[in-house]
Amino acid sequence: MKDLKELKNLTLLYVEDNEEVARVTTMVLEEYIERVLVVKNGIEALQIFNTYQVDLILSDILMPKMNGIEFARKVREGKHNAQCPIIFTTAHTEVNYLLDAISLSVDGYVLKPINITELLHTMLKAILPKIQAKEIESKNMLLSAINTFVGGKKIEIIRFLLEHCDEEGIFYGSYEYIIEELNVSKPTIVKTFHQLMEVGLLVKIRNKVYKICLDK
């Protein structure tokens, strides 16, 4: 499935009281997600949530001690990571809980028995706004930092690279392509590329192929 790599670095908090369902689902999810924290009820989930930096919550609704709705409400009302994306797993018989879930701005629902393809798609959709915001912030911070020591036409070149790279941060293009698009001189482009490579923000993979390193 496209973009599953976006799940790879996540920490998922999975709340499910059925041990067999939790075991089977976790076994599959661990193939796609770096860290899966599994608990049996909302009370345990809240303790783990307030202890670790969780990127996404996948929770059953009907559970002992504290159900999924109550747990989600505690998350939304808390001071720690209150906007963490939440997805509920739910049976058809639990639809009466969905109005409560909507009021808590839950990010998705997956019916039981869980279809893994549907679950992965729902998870990607839930974390997409956070990923996009992080990418925009990274690009803006990069441009702001570089602007302090290059400026002018060089910033235009860097912005062009950022806007025309693919989702992997790969830019395919020649100096001539940039000259044609931006009307800048070749020496300016060459110097800009060299400066970026010297500080590790740009890596040449092969002729006319470069990788932009936004995680620097």
Beta-bridge partners for 36: 12
Residues in contact with 30: Cβ distance below 8 Å, sequence separation at least 6, in sequence order: 36
Could you give the C-alpha distances from 62 to 47, 73, 106, in angstroms and in order? 18, 14, 16
pLDDT for 46-76, tens place per residue?
999 999 999 999 999 888 889 899 999 999 9
Predicted confidence band of residue 11 (pLDDT cuts 50, 70, 90)? very high
pLDDT for 106-154, tens place per residue?
888 888 888 888 888 888 888 876 766 566 555 665 556 555 445 567 7
78 vs 82: CA distance, rounded Å: 6
CA of residue 189 relative to chain centroid, distance: 32
Average pLDDT of the residues of the chain: 83
Average pLDDT of the residues in 207-213:
88
- For 168, counting Cβ atoms within 10 Å of its Cβ (0-12 exposed, 13-18 middle, 19+ buried), the class is exposed
Predicted confidence band of residue 28 (pLDDT cuts 50, 70, 90)? very high
Contact criterion met (CB below 8 Å) for 43 and 51: no
Q: Please give the structure tokens belonging to residue 19.
A: 């041990």
Contact criterion met (CB below 8 Å) for 31 and 41: no
Q: How many residues does the chain have?
A: 216
Contact criterion met (CB below 8 Å) for 116 and 124: no
Q: Sort residue 16 into left (φ over 0), alpha (ψ -120 to 50) or beta.
A: beta
**Cα first-last separation, the chain:** 28
For 112, which DSSP code? S
Q: Please give the structure tokens belonging to residue 212.
A: 């932009």
